[in-house]
């Protein structure tokens, strides 16, 4: 595979493309019979653009954004995107040479001014855009563009084109992100002369316009998550599903990534011996609460590693369901692979990784089953479906097909429909790992991470936790 990986994204051939007329018609319908206001749509469009940028170009690396805004709604999208980018931690600058006196636009300008976002005239722009900015946000023209670009936009577009050409020797040149249409391109025919701008990212709104078929840059996103079913049906729109609550979705050819070049530089507050709790469980609870407060999804997910008598380790994720001075608890099937391994060798290790906090916690120790009462109590606290699921699943054994599980599930659902208490299978229950080692890892720059390790020690017949710092 030579370090190359194709990341997931939707199949571009399954997405619909709009003509210029369709795009304008949809706009009119949204803002007419469908009850939207232009302010609303522009806010959602600009937010989609900002979130698409944040998905690919992290503020830590691509901080300085020049939003070049044109006279129409595409320019308005750029103003909104710049405001959101400001709040995401970027440093936006705006070039907005042909302003519209409508209250919507003057409001957007006032909002940016109140954030002290600088507005630059065309004359103020540095001669070489490539040294001053990390992202050039092309919000010049959208789907109403026609003919050839008129001043002052013709010159601005030439500078964007020239910058990309003369920059091939530079180490890091800014990326161009186009909103809806790469400005200067024909809305349907695309880059007719072949001399137009070559954006690195295109954020199509509502649905890609026909010109987007010619976009071959690495990042094609779709935004504008506001299309109601009547529009999708009327225009026979095939659009990819948006993941979760995201405002954007990656479409088009999946970018090639060089795995060997993938790395993050961790920037965190330093983590000192003086500030940690003498009790590692209390320290764990502190970090756990911080992980939850930071909004991490499943902060209680941990990798559990076990090895049976053959000494060959295996890992899988499980959910932490309790922690106190006695140890770390999770629930599972005692006859699963992990269950069999733990019956042969009652030692295991747990690992938490809280990515956005640059934190890892590693726990090692001996494992025993929790009491049957504890397992009963937990089992009956679970949703009914999960209780039935636990009965159905002979975890880690081979099943002939998904339908077998569904069939058994339905039978049990029927069987227990009028039953108050679904009996817990005997082979289902909890384990508790009693720690003999806990290490707290805080990622730092240049790989000089903080690692504080706790191990129990006997002092005057009393067990205390000794804390040492380990080399990163």
Ligand X SMILES: Cc1ncc(COP(=O)(O)O)c(C=O)c1O
Ligand Y SMILES: NC(=O)C1=CN([C@@H]2O[C@H](COP(=O)(O)OP(=O)(O)OC[C@H]3O[C@@H](n4cnc5c(N)ncnc54)[C@H](OP(=O)(O)O)[C@@H]3O)[C@@H](O)[C@H]2O)[C@H](O)CC1
Ligand Z SMILES: Cc1cc2nc3c(=O)[nH]c(=O)nc-3n(C[C@H](O)[C@H](O)[C@H](O)COP(=O)(O)O)c2cc1C
Question: Which residues are identified as catalytic?
Answer: 447
Q: Give the C-alpha separation, 133 to 118, whole Å.
A: 13
Q: How far is the CB of 153 from ligand Y (least distance, A)?
A: 5
Q: Give the C-alpha separation, 65 to 255, whole Å.
A: 22
The reply on whether position 331 binds ligand X by CB under 6 A is yes
The reply on whether position 60 binds ligand X by CB under 6 A is no
The reply on whether position 246 binds ligand Z by CB under 6 A is no
Q: Give the C-alpha separation, 39 to 45, whole Å.
A: 10
The reply on whether position 315 binds ligand X by CB under 6 A is no
Q: Give the C-alpha separation, 472 to 470, whole Å.
A: 6
Four-point Cα dihedral 136, 137, 139, 145, nearest 10: 60
* Residue 421, binding choice from ligand Z, ligand Y, ligand X, none, Cβ under 5 to 8 Å by partner class: none
Residue 73 is assigned to a ligand binding site: yes
| DSSP state string for 300-359 | TEEEEEEE-TT--EEEEEEE--EEETTEEEEEEETTSHHHHHHHH--EEEEEEEEGGGTE
User: Binding ligand Z by CB under 6 A: which of 31, 38, 109, 301?
Assistant: 301
User: Binding ligand X by CB under 6 A: which of 319, 404, 421, 448?
Assistant: 319
User: Binding ligand Y by CB under 6 A: which of 57, 105, 153, 284?
Assistant: 153
Q: Which of 218, 254, 255, 260 is nearest to 3 (CA)?
A: 260
169 to 208, contacts with ligand Y by CB under 6 A? 179-181, 205-206
Conformational region of residue 416, where left means phi above 0, alpha means psi within -120 to 50, and beta covers everything else = alpha
The reply on whether position 178 binds K ion by CB under 5 A is yes
User: Binding ligand X by CB under 6 A: which of 198, 213, 369, 382?
Assistant: 382
* Residue 386, binding choice from ligand X, ligand Z, ligand Y, none, Cβ under 5 to 8 Å by partner class: ligand X
Q: Which two tokens stand for residue 416?
A: 């227990």
Q: Which of 350, 342, 389 is nearest to 368 (CA)?
A: 342
The reply on whether position 48 binds K ion by CB under 5 A is no
The reply on whether position 395 binds ligand Z by CB under 6 A is yes
Q: What are phi and psi of 7, to 5 degrees?
A: -85, 160
Residue 328 is assigned to a ligand binding site: no
SS3 category, 110: helix
Q: How far is the CB of 341 from ligand Z (least distance, A)?
A: 8
User: Binding K ion by CB under 5 A: which of 52, 183, 283, 444?
Assistant: 183
The reply on whether position 143 binds ligand Y by CB under 6 A is yes
Helix/strand number for the chain, H first, E second? 12, 19
The reply on whether position 337 binds ligand Z by CB under 6 A is yes
User: Binding ligand Z by CB under 6 A: which of 192, 292, 319, 421?
Assistant: 319
Q: Which residues contact ligand X (rule: CB under 6 A)?
A: 319, 331-332, 382, 386
Give the annotated binding-site residues for K(+): 74, 138, 183
Q: Which residues contact ligand Y (rule: CB under 6 A)?
A: 26-27, 30, 41-42, 45, 70-74, 76-77, 141-150, 153, 179-181, 205-206, 224
Give the annotated binding-site residues: 73-77, 138, 142-148, 180, 183
């Amino acid at each position: 595979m030579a370090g190359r990986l194709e990341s997931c994204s939707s199949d571009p051939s399954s997405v619909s493309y709009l003509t210029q007329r369709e795009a304008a018609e949809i706009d009119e319908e949204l803002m007419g019979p469908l009850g939207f206001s232009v302010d609303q749509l522009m806010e959602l469009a600009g937010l989609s653009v900002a979130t698409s940028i944040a998905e690919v170009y992290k503020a830590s690396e691509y901080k300085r954004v020049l939003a070049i805004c044109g006279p129409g709604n595409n320019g308005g999208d750029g103003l909104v995107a710049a405001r959101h980018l400001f709040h995401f931690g970027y440093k936006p600058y705006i070039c907005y040479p042909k302003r519209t006196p409508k209250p919507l636009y003057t409001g957007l300008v006032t909002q940016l001014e109140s954030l002290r976002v600088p507005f630059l005239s065309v004359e103020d722009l540095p001669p070489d855009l490539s040294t001053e900015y990390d992202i050039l946000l092309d919000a010049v023209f959208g789907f109403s563009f026609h003919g050839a670009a008129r001043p002052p936009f013709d010159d601005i577009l030439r500078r964007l084109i020239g910058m990309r050409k003369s920059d091939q020797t530079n180490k890091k040149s800014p990326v161009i992100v186009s909103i809806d249409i790469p400005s200067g391109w024909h809305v349907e025919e695309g880059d007719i002369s072949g001399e137009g701008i070559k954006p690195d990212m295109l954020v199509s709104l509502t649905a890609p316009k026909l010109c987007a078929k010619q976009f071959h840059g690495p990042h094609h996103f779709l935004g504008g998550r506001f299309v109601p079913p009547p529009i999708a049906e009327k225009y026979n729109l095939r659009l990819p599903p948006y993941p979760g609550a995201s405002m954007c979705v990656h479409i088009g050819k999946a970018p090639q990534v060089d795995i060997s070049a993938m790395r993050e530089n961790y920037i965190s507050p330093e983590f000192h011996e003086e500030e940690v709790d003498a009790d590692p469980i209390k320290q764990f609870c502190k970090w756990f609460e911080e992980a939850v407060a930071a909004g991490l999804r499943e902060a209680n997910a941990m990798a559990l590693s076990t090895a049976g008598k053959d000494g060959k380790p295996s890992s899988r994720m499980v959910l932490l369901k309790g922690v106190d001075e006695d140890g770390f608890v999770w629930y599972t099937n005692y006859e699963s692979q992990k269950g069999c391994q733990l019956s042969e060798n009652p030692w295991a290790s747990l690992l938490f990784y809280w990515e956005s906090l640059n934190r890892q916690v590693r726990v090692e120790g001996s494992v025993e089953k929790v009491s049957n009462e504890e397992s009963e109590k937990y089992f009956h606290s679970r949703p009914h479906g999960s209780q039935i699921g636990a009965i159905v699943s002979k975890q880690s054994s081979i099943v002939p097909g998904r339908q077998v599980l569904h069939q058994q599930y339905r039978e049990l659902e029927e069987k227990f429909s009028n039953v108050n208490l679904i009996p817990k299978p005997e082979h289902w229950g909890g384990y508790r790992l009693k720690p003999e080692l806990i290490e707290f890892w805080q990622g730092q720059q240049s790989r000089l991470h903080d690692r504080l390790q706790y191990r129990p020690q006997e002092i005057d017949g009393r067990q205390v936790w000794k804390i040492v710092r380990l080399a990163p």
